[in-house]
Amino acid sequence: MAVIPVELAGRSYEVRVGSELLADLAAQCGPLLRKKRVPIVTDNNVERHWRETVDGSLAAAGFEPRWMILESGEGAKSWTVLERLMDWLLAEEVERGDHVLALGGGVIGDLTGFAAAILKRGCGFIQLPTTLLAQVDSSVGGKTAINTSAGKNLVGAFHQPSLVLADLDALTTLPAREMGAGYAEVIKYGILGDRAFFDWCEANGGAVLAGDRAAQEYAVTESVKAKARIVAEDERETTGARALLNLGHTFGHALEAQTGFSDRLLHGEAVALGMVLAARYSARRGYISEADAQRVAMAIGSAGLPSEVATLGLNCNGQALAAHMLHDKKMDAGTLPFVLLHGIGEAFLDKQVVLADVAEFLDRELERR
Ligand code: NAD
Ligand code: GLY
C-alpha cells in the first residue's frame, strides 16, 4: 500500500492506495468512526458490487452500516438529491464530529462532500473512490459541488476529506469505458507537469487499462502525488498552480456542452480530446513543436480515447464551440485563461488567448481527417 500525505495546515490527511482497503474498511478508518452507526452514501451500481464487502468489514467490527443509495449518474448532483441527502443525514443524527462515507465515483464524492460541508456548518467525510477518475482526481483536494440549471459545479465548497482510501480492487468492476475516461486524468498529470511520467504512460497505459495491478498502483500513486503537491501549494486555486489541473478542460467543456453533457462524450473523454486540442493550439501559437502535439494525440488515441474532434460528428462550427467557453466558470473579468503547453510536462496559464482565434482553429479541427 502507498500512503500519500496531503499537507494542509491543520487539515492534512492521507490518501492510501492499494488492495483490499474496502475489505479492511473498519480498521482503515480507525478512530474516525466514533459511533456504532456509520452513514454511507453510494449509487446503485457501486452498491451492487461493493455493499457486501463494506457491510462485511463494518459488521465484523461491530458497526452498523446505514445506506443512502442514489440513482447513478450526474443527475445526483442536484438540489433535489442534495435536499434528500441532507434530510437523511439529519434523521441519522450525524453530528459535526462524525464522518460520512462517500463510496463511489466523482458524482457521489462531490455530492457527499458538499453535503458534509454544509451539514451543521460542516461535518467530516471519508472518500472511498471507486472509479479511476475519482481515485486520481476528484477524491483528492476538497472540491465539492452540485450542478444547477446555470451549469456544472456552480454551487459548492472547498471541504477536505479526513481520509481517502483508493482501493484498486474497485477498478475490477468498473466498465472499460469509465476506466478509459479516468485514464485521461492520469495522463494529464504527465502532460501538464511531468514528462517522465508521460513517457511512462506511453509505455504502460495499455497495462493500466488491461488491469495490471502493479501498473495501476503506480499510475494512481503518481497521479495522487502530483495532485497532492498542487493542492498543498494552491488549495483554493488562487495562485494559478491548481488552475493547471484544468488542462484540456476549457476545450473539453465546450465539447461536453455541445454534446449536451451526455453519455455521447464522458467528462474524461472530453478532457482527453481537450488536451489534444490544447497541445495543437499550443503548436499553432508556436509554443511547442507539431511533433510534440502529435505525440500527445498519439498517446491519447492509443489509449482508445478520442483524439480527433471530426470523429464526433458535431453539427456546428468553431464559433459555436468557442461560444460555450464564454460560460466557463473559469472566466475572470472578461478573459478566459487557457492552460497551454511550452512542452510536454510544461503547462502554463495563457491569459492572452483571443476566442476568435480559437474559433478559427476549431473550424480547421472540425474538418481535419
Ligand atoms: P461517476 O461517479 O458518475 O461514475 C461513473 C459510472 O461508474 C457510474 O455509472 C457509477 O455508478 C459507475 N461506477 C462507479 N464505480 C464503479 C465500480 N467500482 N464498479 C462499477 N461501476 C462503478 O463518474 P466519475 O467519472 O467517477 O466522476 C465524474 C464526476 O466527478 C463529475 O460530476 C465531475 O464534475 C466530478 N469531478 C470532480 C472533481 C473534483 O475535483 N471534485 C474532479 C473531476 C471530476
Ligand atoms: N479537478 C481539478 C481540481 O481539483 O482542481
Of the residues 66, 77, 99, 143, only one is catalytic, namely 143
Whole-number Å distance, alpha carbon 229 to ligand 2 midpoint, is 12
**Of 132, 152, 242, 275, best ligand 2 pocket probe by most atoms within 8 Å of the beta carbon:** 242
The amino acid at residue 267 is H
List the grid coordinates of 18.
492499494
Ligand nearest to the CA of 231: 2
Active-site annotation holds for 253: yes
Whole-number Å distance, alpha carbon 342 to ligand 1 midpoint, is 31
**Of 8, 137, 330, 349, best ligand 2 pocket probe by most atoms within 8 Å of the beta carbon:** 137
pLDDT of residue 333: 67
Whole-number Å distance, alpha carbon 334 to ligand 1 midpoint, is 31
Domains in the chain, start-ordered, CATH in brackets?
2-173 (3.40.50.1970), 176-367 (1.20.1090.10)
Which residues neighbour 222 within 8 Å (Cβ) at sequence distance 6 or greater?
A: 189, 194, 197, 200
pLDDT of residue 287: 98
pLDDT of residue 364: 96
Of the residues 159, 178, 246, 365, only one is catalytic, namely 246
Ligand nearest to the CA of 77: 1
Active-site annotation holds for 246: yes
pLDDT of residue 334: 67
pLDDT digit string, tens, across residues 205-214: 999 999 999 9
Whole-number Å distance, alpha carbon 213 to ligand 1 midpoint, is 20
What is the C-alpha separation between 88 and 289, in angstroms, rounded?
A: 54
For ligand 1, atom 4, name the residue with the nearest CA: 105
Is the pLDDT at 328 greater than 90, yes or no?
no
pLDDT digit string, tens, across residues 157-197: 999 999 999 999 999 999 999 999 999 999 999 999 999 99
Whole-number Å distance, alpha carbon 65 to ligand 2 midpoint, is 30
Whether the CB-CB separation of 73 and 107 falls below 8 Å is answered with yes
pLDDT digit string, tens, across residues 352-363: 999 999 999 999
Of the residues 267, 269, 280, 365, only one is catalytic, namely 267
For ligand 1, atom 17, name the residue with the nearest CA: 174
Active-site annotation holds for 48: no
Whole-number Å distance, alpha carbon 231 to ligand 1 midpoint, is 20
20, exposed or middle or buried, with CB in 10 Å at 0-12, 13-18, 19+? middle
Ligand nearest to the CA of 103: 1
What is the C-alpha separation between 300 and 302, in angstroms, rounded?
A: 5
Q: Please give all residues whose beta carbon lies within 6 A of any atom in ligand 1, as ranges.
A: 43, 45-46, 49, 72-74, 77, 104-108, 110, 130-131, 133-134, 137-138, 141, 143, 152-153, 170, 173-174, 178, 181, 267
Active-site annotation holds for 237: yes
Q: Taking Cα atoms as reference points, which of 260, 257, 366 lies closest to residue 315? A: 366
What is the C-alpha separation between 4 and 15, in angstroms, rounded?
A: 5
pLDDT digit string, tens, across residues 232-284: 999 999 999 999 999 999 999 999 999 998 999 999 999 999 999 999 999 99
pLDDT digit string, tens, across residues 16-55: 999 999 999 999 999 999 999 999 999 999 999 999 999 9
Whole-number Å distance, alpha carbon 245 to ligand 2 midpoint, is 6
Is the pLDDT at 329 greater than 90, yes or no?
no
Which residues neighbour 43 within 8 Å (Cβ) at sequence distance 6 or greater?
A: 69, 70, 71, 72, 73, 76, 104, 105, 107, 108
pLDDT digit string, tens, across residues 110-150: 999 999 999 999 999 999 999 999 999 999 999 999 999 98
Active-site annotation holds for 64: no
Is the pLDDT at 327 greater than 90, yes or no?
no
Active-site annotation holds for 242: yes
Residue 241's alpha-carbon distances to 238, 251, 282, 287, in angstroms, are 8, 19, 19, 19
